C-alpha cells in the first residue's frame, strides 16, 4: 500500500519519494526526548537560546537554494517565491532571537501588599500542526518564538511536504541544537489526536482547515491544554473610487495571485466601487491573460500549479457551480491540459449568495470581483462570511479607511496594501478563522505561564 506521506510533484503529477510513518513507539520516544530537554532548556539563558537559533537562521540562508527547490518540488510555487520564503523564515527566527528577552522581561506591579511582579515562564513540550502552502515560514513562526521562550517543540507537517519538514529539522541538527529541542514527526494526519492526548504535550498550535481546527480545539479542550488556531479566510479587498489604481493592481497581483492564490490571507473577495470598476476589470483581465503559467522552476514563470488533483477539482467545481447559477467567467475557468495540476488564472464576476464561489473559501487563482455602489454595500459583502482573518482597503482618503477598518469583522486590516505577514506585526483572526495570535510580541505569549510573584511587606 502506497504511503500517504510522500512527495507528489504538483507540476508533473508524479510521485518522487515516499516515506514510512514513524511508529507510535518512535513518536513516544521523541516526545520523551523533548520533555527531558525541557527540564533544562527552560532554565537556559536567553543568550544561549539566541545563539542556537541564530545558527539555525544562518543555516537556512546558507542552504537557501536547496531548501527553495524542495518547496517548489513539493507544493509547486515558483522558485523565486520559494527563495523569498526561506529568507523570510530566517528573518522570523532572527526576530525572536533578538527580541524574546525583552518581550518576556519581568513586569513589576503596583500593590500596597508589598513587592509584586509577573514572570514569563515556558510550559513544556508543544505540538505544531503546520500546512503545506508555506512549508518553512509557517514552521518558523511557530518554532521561533516558542523555543526562544524556553519550550521544546515537536512538529507535524502536512503529509505532502515531508522533505520540507525533514529539512527544517536538519537546520537544527546542522546548528548543533540539543537533542529534543525540535523534532519533525513523520505521521499521518489521522493520528494527530493521539499526540494531543499525550500527557507530555502541554499545548498545540494548528494552521489548517476549519474542520481540522475544530477537531484539534475539541481534543485540546477536553485535555485542558491551550491551543492556537489559524484557519481559513475569505478576505475582502475593498476598492473605493478614489483608490490609486497602481496600488490596487499591485495588491491584487501580490494579494490574490501569488502562490497561485493558495494563502489564508489571499484577497478572495474583491469589492470594487462602481466608479473605478470598469478600469480595474480591464486592467486585471489584461494582467491575468498575460500571465505565464507553467514549470515553477523556470525564472519567467508567473504561476505554478495548485497543490493537488483534489485542490484542482474543488476549484473547478466552485467555478462551474457559480457559472451555472449566473456568475460570469471573464477569463480562464478551465484546467490547463498538460501534466500536473494547472488551472487557468480565472476571473469571476456577478457572484451572489448560493454560489460556491460566494459562500466558500476559494483556495486558488480565482479573482472574484463584486461591483458596489457605496461603502455600506461594500462592508455588507465584506462581513457576509463566516471567516474573519484579514481585510484590505484601497483609498487615498486614509482617515476614511480607518473608519471603514473599524467596521470590518477581521483580525487584521491593511490600507493600500495586501494583507501579509511580518515578524513584528501580530497575525490572526476572529470568527471561524480561529483564535490566538502569531508573530510580534503577541505570538510569543501564547504558550507562556504568566506567574505572579508577590513578596509581602
Query: Is 264 annotated as catalytic?
Result: yes
Nine-digit cell string for 62: 546558507
How is 108-173 classified by DSSP, letter by letter?
Answer: EE--TTEEEEEEEEE-SEEEEEE-SSSTTHHHHHHHHHHHHTT-EEEEEE-TT-HHHHHHHHHHHH
Question: Beta strand pairing status for 328-331 and 346-349?
Answer: antiparallel
* 3-class DSSP state of 30: helix
Catalytic one among 85, 169, 230, 360?
Answer: 230
Q: What is the DSSP letter of 177?
A: P
Tell me how long the chain is. Answer: 457
Sheet with strand 107-109: strands edge to edge: 107-109, 114-122, 448-456
The answer to whether 393 and 405 have CB atoms below 8 angstroms apart is yes
Q: What are phi and psi of 239, to 5 degrees?
A: -115, 115
Q: Do the strands 114-122 and 448-456 form a parallel or antiparallel pair, or are they unpaired?
A: antiparallel
| Set 164, 169, 264, 360: catalytic member | 264
Q: The cell 482618503 sits on which residue?
A: 397
Q: Are 148 and 87 in contact (CB under 8 A)?
A: no
Which residues are catalytic, by number?
Answer: 230, 264
Amino acid at each position: 500500500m502506497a504511503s500517504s506521506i510522500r512527495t507528489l510533484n504538483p507540476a508533473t503529477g508524479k510521485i518522487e519519494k515516499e516515506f514510512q510513518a514513524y511508529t507510535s513507539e518512535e513518536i513516544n520516544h521523541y516526545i520523551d526526548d523533548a520533555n527531558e530537554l525541557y527540564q533544562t532548556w527552560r532554565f537556559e539563558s536567553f543568550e544561549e537560546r539566541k545563539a542556537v537559533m541564530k545558527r539555525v537562521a544562518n543555516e537556512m540562508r546558507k542552504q537557501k537554494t536547496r531548501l527553495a527547490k524542495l518547496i517548489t518540488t513539493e507544493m509547486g510555487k515558483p522558485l523565486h517565491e520559494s527563495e523569498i520564503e526561506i529568507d523570510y523564515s530566517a528573518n522570523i527566527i532572527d526576530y525572536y532571537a533578538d527580541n524574546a528577552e525583552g518581550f518576556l522581561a519581568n513586569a513589576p506591579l503596583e500593590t500596597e501588599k508589598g513587592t509584586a511582579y509577573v514572570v514569563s515562564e515556558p510550559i513544556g513540550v508543544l505540538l505544531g500542526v503546520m500546512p503545506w502552502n508555506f512549508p518553512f515560514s509557517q514552521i518558523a513562526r511557530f518554532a521561533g518564538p516558542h523555543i526562544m521562550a524556553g519550550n521544546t517543540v515537536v512538529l507535524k507537517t502536512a503529509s505532502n511536504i515531508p522533505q520540507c519538514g525533514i529539512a527544517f529539522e536538519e537546520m537544527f541538527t546542522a546548528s548543533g541544537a540539543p537533542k529534543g529541542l525540535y523534532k519533525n514527526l513523520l505521521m499521518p494526519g489521522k493520528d494527530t489526536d493521539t499526540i494531543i492526548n499525550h500527557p507530555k504535550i502541554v499545548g498545540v498550535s494548528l494552521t489548517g482547515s476549519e474542520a481540522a481546527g475544530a477537531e484539534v480545539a475539541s481534543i485540546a479542550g477536553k485535555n485542558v491544554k491551550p491551543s492556537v488556531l489559524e484557519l481559513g479566510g475569505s478576505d475582502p479587498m475593498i476598492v473605493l473610487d478614489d483608490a490609486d489604481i497602481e496600488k490596487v493592481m499591485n495588491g491584487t497581483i501580490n494579494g490574490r495571485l501569488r502562490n497561485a492564490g493558495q494563502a489564508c490571507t489571499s484577497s478572495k473577495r474583491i469589492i470594487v466601487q462602481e466608479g473605478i470598476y470598469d478600469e480595474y476589470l480591464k486592467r486585471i483581465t489584461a494582467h491575468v491573460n498575460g500571465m505565464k503559467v507553467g514549470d515553477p522552476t523556470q525564472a519567467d514563470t508567473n504561476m505554478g500549479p495548485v497543490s493537488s488533483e483534489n485542490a484542482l477539482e474543488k476549484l473547478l467545481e466552485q467555478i462551474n457551480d457559480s457559472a451555472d447559477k449566473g456568475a460570469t467567467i471573464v477569463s480562464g475557468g478551465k484546467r490547463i491540459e498538460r501534466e500536473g495540476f494547472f488551472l487557468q488564472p480565472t476571473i469571476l464576476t456577478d457572484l451572489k449568495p448560493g454560489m460556491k464561489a460566494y459562500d466558500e473559501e476559494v483556495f486558488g487563482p480565482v479573482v472574484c470581483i463584486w461591483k458596489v455602489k457605496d461603502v455600506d454595500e461594500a462592508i455588507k459583502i465584506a462581513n457576509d462570511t463566516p471567516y474573519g482573518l484579514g481585510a484590505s482597503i484601497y483609498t487615498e482618503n486614509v482617515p476614511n479607511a480607518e473608519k471603514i477598518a473599524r467596521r470590518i469583522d477581521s483580525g487584521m486590516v491593511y490600507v493600500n496594501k495586501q494583507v501579509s505577514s511580518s515578524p513584528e506585526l501580530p497575525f490572526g483572526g476572529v470568527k471561524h478563522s480561529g483564535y490566538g495570535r502569531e508573530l510580534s510580541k503577541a505570538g510569543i505569549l501564547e504558550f507562556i505561564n504568566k506567574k505572579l510573584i508577590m513578596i509581602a511587606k
